Amino acid sequence: MTSERPSLWPTVEIADPTKALSAAAEPWTTAVSEFTKWQRNGLQQAAAAWAAAIPGAGKAAEPMTDKRFAGEAWNKDPRFDALARAYLAHTKLMREALEAAPLDERSKAQWGFALRQVTDALSPANMLATNPEALQLAVETGGASLVEGMRLFTEDLAHGRVQMTDTTAFEVGRNVGATPGSVVYQNELIQLIQYTPTTAQVYARPLVIIPPCINKYYILDLQPANSFVQHAVAQGHTVFLVSWRSAGPGQETLTWDDYIEQGVLRAIDVARRVSDTETVNTLGFCVGGTLLASALAVRAARGEHPAASLTLLTTMLDFSETGEIGLLISERGVAQREAAVGTGGLVKGIELAQVFASLRANDLIWPYVVNSYLKGKPPPAFDLLYWNSDDTNLPGPMFCWYVRNTYLENKLRRPGGTVQCGEPVDLGAVQIPAFVYASKEDHIVPWQTAYASTQLLSGEVTFVLGASGHIAGVINPPAKNKRNYWTSGGSRSTDSSGGPSRLESDPDHWFETAESIPGSWWPAWIDWLVPLSGPQVPARTELGSSEFAPIEEAPGRYVKEEAS
């Protein structure tokens, strides 16, 4: 009989050591397996692409749907056809390999963004030697297309950007931003424009519009056929609009609070005094909507309620899901920016424009590189892209506060989460009717994120979802009868406190029950606004007032200042 001795080491029970080791290695085993599969699929697809390029070697491949390779020159030459197919196949396989990598979702999304920038840049369509359309044009023109391409490249190099439109075709105040009116107030940050009425009767309560400060205001006043401002004026509304100044050396230290007090709230107060009304209707677009909602919450904290209604166009108040822009923002990056310009300095508009363009590089960068530099074709005149190229600088302190408190820390949605203008801000204190609009294909403000605003505001909220993207969805005049929008009068939950009922919290379920309506959403917004605009009164024959005399004709000086 053997005696049992106590062990010097604690007993650790492992039911099956092999399984334990296997579990520890599983993520890497999976990655290796996926990489092997990726290699095998890559070889198979490359072989299939080249086989399809050889007459009689195999089954004809399906036509390519990618618009970069849709031209006849890509299809009729088997060498370029195979090259394009191999590129697309390998791009797809790299995306699949990344998806299978043992990374968290945010890391995958960040690497996916970087991968897309690289693969988009390496497209065969972007290089002269591998673009059959550009080569064919060079032969047909005797090289003239390449000479013109070099000239266009040199011009763009001098401008510091790829030109997307013929900038000589437009002039602010002549054929864009040309709706008649007058500047009735200005300070170092804004000019306030009052527009000339075009109807004999106007609604007593005016409309104050806060456009985004990261762009020029005239996105809402392009040419007469697609001017949101002109449409509102034609419906009998007295419109006041903020023209933000592009920050220069004198505005380097302006803060978010300055944009609230000297910008939004000053504009509202001037409009009230000029119109001799207690309240105004208000509208904010993109970050202009974020500023507007914050400003009204600041006033609510002071016991003041200067607005009778709130319209938000493609606006984020809850920054939980911010799309690809959010992937570019990190604590480290924000801290570096705060150290550089957080107490004074400028964030250049061209830098912001390049970031937004990179989100859709195959729409906003590479087509213009190919057409201009490889084919020698100058970009056509397009008012929306002219506006898109008209940069605006921001003060560093304002920009840093905005990015940290919204994109990085998402404090705005929490009652008291931010202190603005000395007041703890609660968006739930904005208890007025609200019209919230989002665009279904918006790559800057995901529509589900815009929908989240319906859960933060306490008044009766109407939500409308338009087709298309961030700009094209908004600028959709009724006369063109384009696109469609979704709306729903139902899907509301009951407020047991007796207040207005809320739209349900799930945006996807809202969409399932919403009704699709053809055409522009503008008439639906006008129908919503009219009951909130007061009685009709005779239109004034003169703009401004004795206190706020007109300073100059619209569009004013600030919008014409170029960012430097």
> What b/e readout covers 236-259, taking b as 16+ CB neighbours within 10 angstroms?
bbbbbbbbbbbbeeebbebbbbbb
List, for the chain, all residue ranges whose pLDDT scores fall below the cut of 50.
1-15, 17-25, 27-29, 31-32, 56-58, 490-494, 496
Q: What is the pTM of this model?
A: 0.88
- The β-bridge partners of 285 are 313
pLDDT at 284: 98
pLDDT at 64: 85
Q: Give the helix, strand, coil percentages of the chain, each rounded to 5.
A: 45, 15, 40
Query: Is the bond preceding residue 378 a cis peptide, omega within 30 degrees?
Result: no
The predicted-structure confidence for 94-138, as pLDDT tens digits, reads as follows: 999 999 999 999 999 999 999 999 999 999 999 999 999 999 999
Active-site residue numbers? Answer: 286
pLDDT at 3: 41
**CB contact at 8 A, 362 and 120:** yes
In the chain, where the domains are located? 27-140, 181-348+391-492+506-560
Using CB atoms within 10 A of its CB, is residue 233 exposed (0-12), middle (13-18) or buried (19+)? buried
DSSP letter, residue 518: E
Nearest to 559 by CA among 315, 239, 217: 217
Domain 181-348+391-492+506-560 listed as CATH 3.40.50.300: no
pLDDT at 560: 96
The predicted-structure confidence for 500-554, as pLDDT tens digits, reads as follows: 567 999 999 999 999 999 999 999 999 999 999 999 999 999 999 999 999 999 9
pLDDT at 20: 42
